[in-house]
């Protein structure tokens, strides 16, 4: 190979494409290609703005992409087809009460008011929200969790198509590193990847939370440093840091979107799923501590209160129910010691380091109640009660995990980023999980983050586009 060819090859291998990276110009720059960023880009493009979206990963989606793709909404067309009576008032009150009134009522109202329109907007873009898939989210009896079989991936696919159809330029593998401001006004971002500078009349930060940044978790959610993040690697709080460098105000830190996970196996694998089945959880003392059928963020809080790890207890029948497909994973988990086994419940307890009499007595009580179809300990739904009577017995540790963080940049109802002085920072908008104020300390219901991301994204996109003359 000729010397110049080797040099070129070496440059390519070192990823020095940035050498050729260009300065670009547009009307609206969007940082982050998750639910909020794509919604913002589509809305801005629909209003005639030329939009460039930067996504630091090689793929779009962020946390939204790996989520269930569920969206909360009240008074929606889907609910009306399903005959569900719901109201914006009830959704507003639910979100405020779940947030213990630590959240911003104006922001919550803005998201509530748009929720039905946003469900329809997504349906028009191709997301299949249907009456038969309506479900419960959180602890409300009202089915307002709009689900889609394709999950978050379907949502992102529809949003990406809509963005591309509208001429949005999407630069993958391009990380925003710094906001550029002139005379107090944000006029662009510096970046690494397919562009080094992107200028625009407005910048929308939609970089998601910071679950994949252990330092920031330690600083802003110190109670959850040991929580297992279920996240994509791009969620490192960059937008919070970039805006803070310009004096942006933050609020609402401390909590996470609580979930639970089995350690050392992939999220969603057979063994991880086994850890989340509604069977019987006990703590280190061998006692049940929660309704195993409760809403996931509340189970997560209960696990957190037990020190972050609890045990899923099950019997041979549950193992058999995994079927032949799951058997290989099960055998591997047993061989590696991840799953413990005992010929008797006492033997299993010893394996798990739990007092044997305590676990035996919990199981005897649980089985007696399950046989009667009544759980006087937690009033768990009778349909989910199945006695565990077929040895051998098994135990699987289940850890507190999170699907993202709560808290971030303060925005107003126009999605403008607020400075510590209380003034909006001209030209700067934020949307989605990079913002704080929508949630309190506990994640209220599956589908809330998507509802907030789509609403604030569309608001940010519309207002940013309005700056274009
Ligand atoms: P939201 O629900 O608020 O849209 P997501 O987690 O779904 O949040 O999406 C955030 C997206 O932002 C992710 O795809 C992530 O990789 C991307 N991102 C994070 N930091 C940067 C950055 N500095 N530059 C470009 N993209 C970023």
Contacts of 250 (CB under 8 A, 6+ apart): 240, 244, 407, 408, 409, 410, 436
Task: Indicate which atom in ligand 1 lies nearest the CA of residue 434.
Answer: 3
Q: Which CATH class is domain 62-169+202-253+406-465?
A: alpha beta
Domain limits of the chain? 62-169+202-253+406-465, 258-402
Q: In testing the pocket of ligand 1, which one of 204, 234, 459 has its CB within 8 Å of the most ligand atoms? A: 234
Contact 128, 150 (CB under 8 A): yes
The predicted structure's pLDDT at residue 18: 46
Task: Indicate which atom in ligand 1 lies nearest the CA of residue 433.
Answer: 3
The predicted structure's pLDDT at residue 325: 86
408 CB within 6 A, ligand 1: no
Contact 386, 399 (CB under 8 A): no
| Residues of the chain where predicted confidence (pLDDT) is lower than 70 | 1-20
Contact 193, 173 (CB under 8 A): yes
DSSP result, 287-314: ---S-TTS-HHHHHHHHHHTTSEEEEEE
Q: What is the distance between the alpha carbons of residues 77 and 165, in angstroms, rounded to a whole number? A: 26
Cα 29 to ligand 1 centroid, rounded to whole Å? 13
User: pTM of the entire structure?
Assistant: 0.94
Beta strand 71-72 with 250-251 is unpaired
Tokens of 91: 């959704």
The predicted structure's pLDDT at residue 19: 47
Q: In testing the pocket of ligand 1, which one of 29, 31, 32 has its CB within 8 Å of the most ligand atoms? A: 32
Cα 200 to ligand 1 centroid, rounded to whole Å? 19
Cα 124 to ligand 1 centroid, rounded to whole Å? 24
Q: Is 205 helix (H, G, I), strand (E, B) or coil?
A: strand
Q: What are phi and psi of 194, to 5 degrees?
A: -85, 0
392: cis peptide before it, omega within 30°? yes
229 CB within 6 A, ligand 1: no
Contact 429, 11 (CB under 8 A): no
Q: Which CATH class is domain 258-402?
A: alpha beta
The DSSP 8-state label assigned to residue 135 in this structure reads B
448 CB within 6 A, ligand 1: no
The predicted structure's pLDDT at residue 16: 47
Contact 31, 148 (CB under 8 A): no
């Amino acid at each position: 190979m000729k010397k110049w060819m080797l040099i070129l090859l070496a440059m390519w291998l070192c990823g020095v494409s940035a050498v050729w990276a260009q300065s670009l110009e547009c009307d609206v720059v969007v940082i982050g290609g998750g639910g909020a960023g794509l919604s913002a880009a589509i809305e801005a493009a629909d209003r005639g703005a030329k939009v460039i979206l930067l996504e630091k990963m090689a793929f779009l989606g962020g946390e939204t992409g790996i989520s269930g793709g569920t969206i909360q909404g009240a008074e929606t067309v889907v609910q009306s087809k399903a005959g569900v009576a719901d109201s914006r008032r009830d959704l507003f009150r639910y979100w405020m009460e779940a947030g213990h009134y630590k959240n911003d009522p104006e922001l919550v109202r803005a998201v509530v008011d748009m929720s039905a329109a946003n469900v329809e907007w997504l349906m028009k873009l191709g997301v299949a929200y249907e009456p038969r898939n309506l479900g419960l989210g959180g602890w409300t009896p009202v089915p307002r969790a709009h689900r889609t079989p394709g999950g978050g991936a379907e949502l992102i696919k529809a949003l990406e198509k809509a963005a591309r159809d509208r001429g949005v330029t999407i630069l993958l593998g391009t990380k925003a590193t710094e906001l550029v401001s002139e005379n107090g006004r944000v006029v662009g971002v510096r970046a690494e990847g397919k562009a080094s500078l992107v200028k625009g009349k407005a910048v929308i930060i939609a970089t998601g939370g910071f679950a994949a940044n252990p330092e920031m978790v330690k600083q802003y959610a110190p109670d959850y440093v040991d929580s297992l993040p279920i996240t994509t690697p791009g969620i490192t709080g960059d937008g919070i840091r970039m805006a803070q460098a310009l004096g942006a105000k933050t609020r609402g830190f401390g909590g996470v979107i609580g979930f639970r996970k089995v350690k050392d196996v992939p999220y969603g694998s057979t063994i991880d799923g086994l850890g989340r089945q509604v069977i019987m959880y006990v703590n280190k003392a061998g006692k049940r501590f929660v309704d195993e059928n409760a809403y996931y963020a509340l189970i997560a809080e209960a696990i957190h209160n037990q020190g972050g790890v609890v045990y899923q207890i099950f019997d041979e029948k549950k193992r058999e129910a995994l079927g032949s497909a799951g058997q290989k994973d099960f055998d591997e988990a047993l061989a590696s010691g991840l799953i413990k086994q005992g010929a008797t419940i006492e033997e299993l307890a010893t394996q798990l380091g739990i007092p044997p009499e305590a676990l035996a007595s919990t199981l005897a009580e649980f089985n007696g109640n399950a046989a009667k179809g009544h759980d006087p300990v937690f009033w768990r739904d009778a349909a989910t009660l199945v006695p565990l009577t077929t040895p051998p017995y098994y135990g699987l540790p289940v850890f507190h995990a999170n699907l993202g963080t709560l808290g971030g940049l303060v925005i107003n109802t126009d999605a403008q980023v607020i400075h510590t002085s209380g003034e909006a920072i001209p030209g700067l908008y934020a949307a989605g999980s990079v913002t704080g104020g929508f949630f309190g300390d506990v994640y209220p219901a599956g589908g809330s983050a998507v509802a907030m991301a789509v609403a604030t994204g569309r608001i940010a996109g519309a207002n940013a586009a309005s700056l274009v003359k």
